[in-house]
Structure 1
Amino acid sequence: MQSNTGLHLKNSADRHARKAADHPALTWAARIGFVVTGLLHIMIGWIALKVATGSGGGEASNSGAMAQIASTPGGQVLLWVMTVGLVGLGLWHLCGLFVSEETKDKAKNVILGIVYLSLSISTFKFASGGSSSDGQKATSVTAKVMQMPGGVILLTIAGLIIIGVGAYNVYAGVTKRFEEKLRAGSTGGKVGSAIILSGMAGYIARGLAFAVLGIMVIWAGFSTDPQKASGLDSALRTIGQQPFGAVLLIVVALGFVLYGVFSIARAKYTSEA
């Protein structure tokens, strides 16, 4: 009896989650969220490009992009819209926990849901007139972990996970793993080749940046210097400091811009989590 009741509750939760994921309001909020992430990537790529060419800069991170948006006319209003979109995208992914069939897809949706909801909090702070720095937050968290028993081991594990995320992004870009999701939401299963190429370049660029960030987190642990793990901006600047780094950073920056274009185009194909 208890088993049947539990199964009934699970089936009921799945049905409600599917309805929520397919609800026009949540779908449109998720589409706005994809556009928002696209805009942030384009901004990060633009900042990184300026750093690579020595024509200015800023913090090449989500918070750096938000700061620049906040400083423009109408920026505060846009940040409120961005907050709503990111909350919608986060909830849309969490609904995917009940919609997805495979365990890996469920886990991916949970992680992405948490990531976008966390990002919406940062956007909310900027929209409310506040500010934050991804680099400072990363340094602070790293310093706290270092003070814990086994802190170096924890940072090494975290670094390896980030490297793994980077490797998966490169793999997804090279093998076009994202294409199936796009075709599922397209009319007639057709997706433009320009969108596919943008996605490939974008995923590979993101993967490289994450891999460098993961290495820096591990390096920070062994060198007991939390400044070495100061976020995406630090990872991109580290790429720029290598031999031929300026050229490589320009390529990565353009990859981020292309990922932004891909993410904006991805909004068109949003139909299911």
Structure 2
Amino acid sequence: MTSSTSGSAGGGTSGPSGGVDAARGGRSGDAWEKAARAGYAVSGALHLVLGFLIVSIAFGSGAEADQSSALGTLGHSPLGAGVLWLAAVAFLALGGWQVADAVHHGEPADRAKAAGRGAMYLVLAFVSVSLALGSGGSNGDGQAQGFAGALVQAPAGRLLVGAIGLGILAGGAYHVVKGARKTFLEDLQATPGGQLGRGVRAMGTVGYIAKGVALAVVGVLFVVAAATADPEQAQGIDGAIDSLLGLPGGPAIVVAVGVGFAAYGVYSFARARYARM
């Protein structure tokens, strides 16, 4: 993300962007930044749980591998609803931070990425609140099928579903390339040295590639749903894991993806500390 210190360093930048920078530079801004960083930490915990669920699927547990299920697992921890409310606040802060950057900072492509990330974290905040209030909602596959089903009925709906699938597939490829090239290090304002730094690089590399593989499968499933006009073919992460499980050597592949998600979780903890805000 774009650094927000420059707008307040000179003591008074005017305009909308300067207003956001000024808000971040004061005491309330410090609190906002800390809450946003906590969002990365909560995301780390979420990916650790998700990694565990994915690995357990490889061994026939019948678990669901989606973010709602992972949040639900966190909600069943000893602190229960309190964990979910803290997650909601952290995701809301991080989502708002990303949206503010999308509106006021960066090139158009960077703004689009920040807006997408912001929307994702705001959705996670909503899911956290829903679970804290006792509303489970549908799982990721059900949401994907409902979304695809509504689009298929619209004019040019199959083309829209196919385009979304290609977009998700491109996002998966982007994650794989980002992990392989280690460009995720550009998201950090500093990289820890020594063994810790090597660990952060390794976790980020494995994590981004694993997430990219899972997203790519989700994209393919959406494309299949568009080609067959069958919205039930559209699946979320859970469906993608089931598809991988059906491949030759599927259990080993799923275990590798689960370990990768957990690695991304560990990287997210480092990002909470070292992220370029």
TM-score above 0.5, yes or no: yes
2:178 is aligned, of 168, 172, 185, to 172
In the other structure, the counterpart of 1:141 is 147
CA distance in 2, matches of 1:187, 1:242: 39
- Once the two structures are TM-superposed, the CA of residue 101 in structure 1 deviates from its matched residue by 3.1
* Alignment partner of 1:124 is 2:134: no
TM-score (norm 2): 0.89
* Alignment partner of 1:13 is 2:19: no
Q: Aligned with 1:73: secondary structure?
A: coil
- Once the two structures are TM-superposed, the CA of residue 202 in structure 1 deviates from its matched residue by 0.5
CA RMSD of aligned residues (A): 1.9
Q: Aligned with 1:192: secondary structure?
A: helix
In the other structure, the counterpart of 1:90 is 95
TM-score (norm 1): 0.90
Q: 1:70-114 CA distances to partner (integer Å, 9 max, x unpaired)?
A: 223212110000000000110111222356333222221111111
1:217 is aligned, of 222, 238, 241, to 222
In the other structure, the counterpart of 2:238 is 233
In the other structure, the counterpart of 1:200 is 205
Q: Aligned with 1:129: secondary structure?
A: coil
Greater displacement, 45-54 / 65-74: 65-74
Percent same amino acid among aligned pairs? 33
- Once the two structures are TM-superposed, the CA of residue 11 in structure 1 deviates from its matched residue by 4.5
1:266 is aligned, of 257, 271, 275, to 271
In the other structure, the counterpart of 1:39 is 45
- Once the two structures are TM-superposed, the CA of residue 253 in structure 1 deviates from its matched residue by 0.6
- Once the two structures are TM-superposed, the CA of residue 209 in structure 1 deviates from its matched residue by 0.4
- Unpaired runs of 5+ in structure 1? 1-9
Instruction: Check whether the contact 2:187–2:276 (CA below 8 A) recurs between aligned residues.
Output: no
CA gap 1:70/1:57 in 2 versus in 1, 3 angstroms: farther
CA distance in 1, matches of 2:276, 2:225: 41
CA gap 1:186/1:255 in 2 versus in 1, 3 angstroms: closer
Matched letter for residue 134 of structure 2: G
Matched letter for residue 219 of structure 1: V
Matched letter for residue 53 of structure 2: I
1:78 is aligned, of 74, 80, 83, to 83
CA distance in 1, matches of 2:164, 2:276: 33
Instruction: Check whether the contact 1:18–1:98 (CA below 8 A) recurs between aligned residues.
Output: no
Matched letter for residue 187 of structure 2: K
- Once the two structures are TM-superposed, the CA of residue 269 in structure 1 deviates from its matched residue by 1.1
In the other structure, the counterpart of 2:6 is none
- Once the two structures are TM-superposed, the CA of residue 31 in structure 1 deviates from its matched residue by 1.2
- Once the two structures are TM-superposed, the CA of residue 20 in structure 1 deviates from its matched residue by 3.3
- Unpaired runs of 5+ in structure 2? 1-12
* Alignment partner of 1:250 is 2:262: no
1:152 is aligned, of 158, 162, 167, to 158
